[in-house]
Amino acid sequence: TATDLQSILKFTEQLARTAGKLILEGSKAIQSAPDSQADIGEKKNAVDLVTEYDVRVEELVKSTIKEKYPDFQFVGEESYAAGSRNPLTDEPTFCVDPIDGTTNFVHGFPFVCISLGLIYKRRPVLGVIYNPFLDHLYTGIKGQGSFLTRGASAPVKLPLSSPKPLPSLSQAIIAVEWGADRTASTIDSKSRSFGRLAGDPEQGVAGGKMAHSLRSMGCAALNFAMVAQGGLDVYWEIGCWPWDVSAGIVIAEEAGGLVSGAHAAFEATASSDAFGDVTEEILTGRKYVVVRAIAGNPGET
């Protein structure tokens, strides 16, 4: 019920702030370590990073949830990487990225967050995204709006300002991400898409839209949050995992955003057909997010 969700939100906010302290502690330790590479591991390849803090934060979060909500299921980036891959059910399920933006975390680039989503009946219903470096807390409950709390200020409803209609992509600021898949075919497709978004059609860039600019924040959840806030018009990415998007979907949608594609991350039978493209049509009138959430499909826009 709505009241249950309110009380889960209070718990989740507190958990995000506690985890945030450990993230800051980890950042200090990593930045001051004499051999900065010592505690940094690789997952799929040399740019898919993991630190001991990703694992420690996830353990903290998992055990705290287990204590408070023993019947809830848990999906976490690091548990998944370690082989814990229970299929998603209709039960309430916390879906957690302990450190989203691990590369930023390792480099001391302060766009890092914990992303805590609650999924019920396979749909995201509650989200908390917390950037401890900036002390920005984004929250959302399906049907109850989304909010930003900065420092000790009172929560402010999102978006911060009403979206102006965008007549075309050419007036948009768009977040794109390079992701961790650096194979030639993926990088080629992505680069072509980026070129089409940023290129000047009059200078002969095929299909160029010449967006105001492209941004790459290096953190999927904070891209969702920034669209919800109104600082980005579009976030387009391929290859997100459920823990990258579960909290962001609720926060962006509750701020009036349109999320296309990311829901498919929660469908057992996701197919590439389910993914929306960036089109002029869906840009008109709304701030929105487009996330194309399928791993292994480079795609283009």
- List, by residue number, the catalytic residues: 77, 97, 99-100, 102, 244
Contacts of 278 (CB under 8 A, 6+ apart): 169, 197, 234, 236, 290, 301
The answer to whether the annotation marks 244 as part of a ligand binding site is: yes
Q: Radius of gyration over alpha carbons of the chain, in Å?
A: 19
Cα 135 to the center of its chain, rounded Å? 17
95: three-class secondary structure by DSSP: strand
Omega before 159 within 30 of 0, i.e. cis: yes
Considering the rule CB under 6 A, would residue 186 count as an interface residue with ligand IPD?
A: no
Letters for 46-85 (x = contact with ligand IPD by CB under 6 A, - = none) are -------------------------------x--------
The answer to whether the annotation marks 71 as part of a ligand binding site is: no
> How far apart are the C-alpha atoms of 159 and 234, rounded to whole Å?
14
> How far apart are the C-alpha atoms of 147 and 168, rounded to whole Å?
28
Among residues 26, 76, 101, 199, the one that binds ligand IPD under rule CB under 6 A: 101
> Any bridge partners for residue 237, and if so which?
291
Least distance from ligand IPD to the Cβ atom of residue 77, Å: 6
Indicate the residue among 130 and 166 with the shorter CB distance to ligand IPD: 130
The answer to whether the annotation marks 48 as part of a ligand binding site is: no
**Closest listed residue to residue 211, CA positions, set 166, 175, 178, 171:** 171
The answer to whether the annotation marks 188 as part of a ligand binding site is: no
Least distance from ligand IPD to the Cβ atom of residue 114, Å: 10
Secondary structure letter of residue 89 according to DSSP: -
Letters for 3-32 (x = contact with ligand IPD by CB under 6 A, - = none) are ------------------------------
Considering the rule CB under 6 A, would residue 253 count as an interface residue with ligand IPD?
A: no
Q: Which stretch binds ligand IPD (CB under 6 A): 126-134, 195-203, 238-246, 253-261?
A: 238-246
Q: Tell me the site size for ligand IPD, rule CB under 6 A.
A: 15
Contacts of 219 (CB under 8 A, 6+ apart): 100, 101, 104, 111, 112, 113
Considering the rule CB under 6 A, would residue 117 count as an interface residue with ligand IPD?
A: no
Least distance from ligand IPD to the Cβ atom of residue 200, Å: 26
Indicate the residue among 69 and 241 with the shorter CB distance to ligand IPD: 241
Least distance from ligand IPD to the Cβ atom of residue 241, Å: 6
The answer to whether the annotation marks 97 as part of a ligand binding site is: yes
Phi-psi sector, 261: left (phi>0), alpha (psi -120 to 50), beta: left
163 to 67, 140, 166: CA distances (angstroms)? 41, 18, 9
Among residues 65, 96, 240, 249, the one that binds ligand IPD under rule CB under 6 A: 240
**Closest listed residue to residue 239, CA positions, set 278, 266, 265, 215:** 265
Least distance from ligand IPD to the Cβ atom of residue 245, Å: 9
Q: Which residues in the 193-222 window bind ligand IPD by CB under 6 A?
A: 218-220
User: Around Cβ 47, how many Cβ atoms within 10 Å?
Assistant: 13
The pair of three-digit structure tokens given for residue 208, joined into one six-digit string: 């160029």
> How far apart are the C-alpha atoms of 234 and 260, rounded to whole Å?
11
Among residues 97, 181, 233, 254, the one that binds ligand IPD under rule CB under 6 A: 97
Considering the rule CB under 6 A, would residue 254 count as an interface residue with ligand IPD?
A: no
Binding-site residues, in ranges, read: 77, 97, 99-100, 244
Binding-site residues for Mg(2+), in ranges, read: 77, 97, 99-100, 244
Binding site for ligand IPD (CB under 6 A): 77, 97, 100-102, 177, 179, 218-220, 237, 239-241, 244
